[in-house]
Chains A and B, each alone.
Chain A
Amino acid sequence: MHIHRYERWWLGFGVGMLLVFLVLLAIAAFSSDINPPSGLGQIDPTKVAQTAPFDHPGLRKLPNGAYEAYYVAHVFAFEPARLTIPVGAKVTFYVTSSDVVHGFFIPYTDVNMMAIPGWVNQETHTFSTPGHYLLICNEYCGIGHQDMFAKIEVR
């Protein structure tokens, strides 16, 4: 089988670009810890309301100055429905669902993850810009899906 010279160049270029992208992603992952949310913790969704810390959803400050925010997603709302975060706070969001699959998405940030019953997902974000943020469910969860949102104020 004959492979034309131009075709070799083209494939070399294409595969080369893919390798460059992979290296960049790997550098981001290993040196800056930019990884997709991949929480591995499990929970019984029927007992979320009794399981700490999801029995008291909300924000808490850690001794090292960082924050943790615990959220429960269920049809068709998030708890807490409102949250205030200090400007500059580095917040790790923990989210689980007590019924079906939901999304957990804060537009204009990179907080975007799935809330799956039985699992706790997590993602960290630093809020450097004050303002009113919207937290929305971005996975279809039923007839009221478009009404499923919460508010976050950064100030």
Chain B
Amino acid sequence: MSEARPSPALLAENRLVLAHVYMSTVAICLGALFGVLQGIARSGAFTPPSWFDYYRMLTMHGVLMALIFTTFFITGIAEFVTYRAIPRERSLVVAWLGWWVMLVGTVMAATTILDGNATVLYTFYAPLKASPWFYVGATLLIAGTWFVAFDVFANVNAFRRANPGKPIPLVVYCAAATFVMWIVATLGVVAEMGLLIPWAFGWTSGINVMLTRMLFWYFGHPLVYFWIMGAYVIWYNIIPTLYGGNVFSDGLTRLTFIMLILLSTPVGIHHEFMEPGIASGWKMLFTVTTYGVAIPSFITAFAIFASFELFAIKQGRKGFLATVRALPWNDPTFSGAALGMLLFILGGFGGLVNASYSMDMLVHNTIWIVGHFHVTVGGPVALTFLGASYWLIPKLTGRALWKPELALFQTRLWFFGMLIMSFSMHVAGLLGVPRRTAAVDYAGAAATQAWQPYMLLAAVGGIFLFASIVTFAAVAIGTLRQNDKSASMAVAFATPASSTDTTPALLQSLYRWGLIALVLAVVVYAGPAGDLIRHPGYLAPGMRTW
């Protein structure tokens, strides 16, 4: 091995990132166990025991997957790219504090769910009232991510001080933009917690149900974009390095992330189209803003395919098939991301239906929605993160990936499992199967006859997915116990295809765009939220129905 020995400072940074990856790995493995049990339970083949009912499982699955797995992976990868792209002497105290606060929050929330005192699903809609420690735990999880955000920002600021006038490295820009968006978004859920926590402790007697829902979705939609931006950080900056390609355009990448900062938040009411208390004019407005947030994803689709094609042309190949053949399909990291992108194309179409105002009536709260977010977060995002773990763990430990062919198999198995499960859920949803329901036979009602084959098929897809996660766990553990310490810890991020392509200074001021995004979100929400605050009506004392 010709590489210089890694410095102790680098090893210390790696330990921190690894701590995040451990958490995300444990979360997705446990989450998959609950996921497959849900799939089987819904097919009617298994009834969960009364000491661990279906909805407790579903709460665990939603929280583990949507909140814990994704968040820990994104905080980890953001720190990793920041440290590697901005080498400097630095303190890791704030970053470690963040990890510990996230951990304490996670343990607190998970304990209340496991012991049955918070069967409120990951959306915790009032007036269902969980143990106050569930809300406190979830708030700590968020608070921990703020420490991570400030650590990333501190490194950005240090880079700017040391390199006046120079743009910050693209990969750090993307990571920092993700956290600027995240701060704007999490203000909503923290405000909601400000209502829920005193109410759950019994210090206040009632709660404005519709206001808590609006604050939740102010956060809930950008939560989705937090996951997607995490995947985009990898797609733009890491995936091209796997085949020797480039970022298509530096400026357009930065523009994409700024659009995501601006447009991710003022859209959340598209989750509330079927609710009373919000006038239909506001719902129309939110349809328009939601369509807007599709645009940065259009740019991304173009940029990714352009990067593929530029690389093929560089190799002297031309045409669609030649481009496809030029790509490293046998690299598990590439395979994960690329198969994820394929799923995302399906997810994008479905998303347009869901966002479409009156069209949402056909699918709202049916299992179509579950099919939709499994081909968005469960496909593109999770598969990108699983694939990226195969790249990241060797970079962090120096241990070579254990059985890469097994890792490759894992990504393909996940892809097919997700296609099967999600396809059946989409069809079943159009036939009227509700989501979040332990059993869907309704005392044998005739209308449910057509549903059963699809529930069975979805369970089969779930079993594939579970097998895929077992494979992932085997490769991860195998790698961590590997004696072969020959993996290179050196990292380079993708560079733009053309160095003459200048990036306007306007795109450099991340924090200013964050502030504009906050103002935009407040302006768009002022109308509908103002209505609810002016006419709160009934304040619910809360109850436990499980």
Contact = CB atoms under 8 A, between A and B. Distances in A.
A30 to B, nearest CB: 10
A4 to B, nearest CB: 7
Contacts of B387: none
B276 A40 contact: yes
Interface of A: 1-4, 6-7, 10-11, 14-15, 18, 21-22, 25-26, 28-29, 34-46, 75, 99-101, 103, 105, 107-108, 110, 112-114, 116-122, 132-134, 136-146, 149, 151
Contact of A36 (B125, B302, B358): B358
Given A1-B501, A29-B358, A108 B55 contact: no
B345 interface: no
A119 to B, nearest CB: 4
Could you say which of A7, A21, A35, A38 has the most chain B C-beta atoms within 10 Å of its C-beta?
A38
Could you say which of A26, A40, A116, A134 has the most chain B C-beta atoms within 10 Å of its C-beta?
A116
Interface of B: 53-55, 58, 119, 121, 125, 127-128, 209-210, 213, 249, 251-252, 255, 272-280, 283-284, 287-288, 291, 294-295, 298-299, 302, 306, 352, 356-362, 364-366, 431-440, 442-443, 445-448, 498, 501-504, 535, 537-538, 540, 543, 545-546
A101 to B, nearest CB: 5
Nearest to B451: A107
Given A14-B294, A99-B543, A145-B437, A110 B53 contact: no
Contacts of A141: 128, 545
Nearest to A42: B537
Given A1-B504, A143-B53, 5 more contacts: A25-B358, A38-B280, A116-B277, A139-B365, A141-B545
Could you say which of B276, B442, B543 has the most chain A C-beta atoms within 10 Å of its C-beta?
B276
B545 A100 contact: yes
Given A35-B280, A121-B275, A143-B55, A2 B501 contact: yes
Contact of B438 (A4, A101, A112, A145): A145
Task: List the 9 shortest-distance A-B pairs measured between CB atoms, nearest first.
Answer: A107-B432, A142-B545, A118-B538, A1-B251, A138-B434, A119-B276, A121-B276, A39-B276, A14-B298
A36 B280 contact: yes
A137 B440 CA distance: 11
Could you say which of A40, A118, A120 has the most chain B C-beta atoms within 10 Å of its C-beta?
A118
B278 A38 contact: yes
A35 B119 CA distance: 33
B173 to A, nearest CB: 14
A45 B207 CA distance: 13
B545 A44 contact: no
Contacts of A121: 274-276
20 contacts: A1-B252, A4-B249, A6-B302, A6-B306, A101-B209, A110-B361, A110-B362, A112-B362, A112-B365, A113-B276, A114-B272, A114-B274, A116-B209, A118-B538, A119-B276, A138-B366, A139-B125, A139-B436, A140-B58, A143-B546
A36 B447 contact: no
Contacts of B251: 1-2
Contacts of B283: 35-36, 38
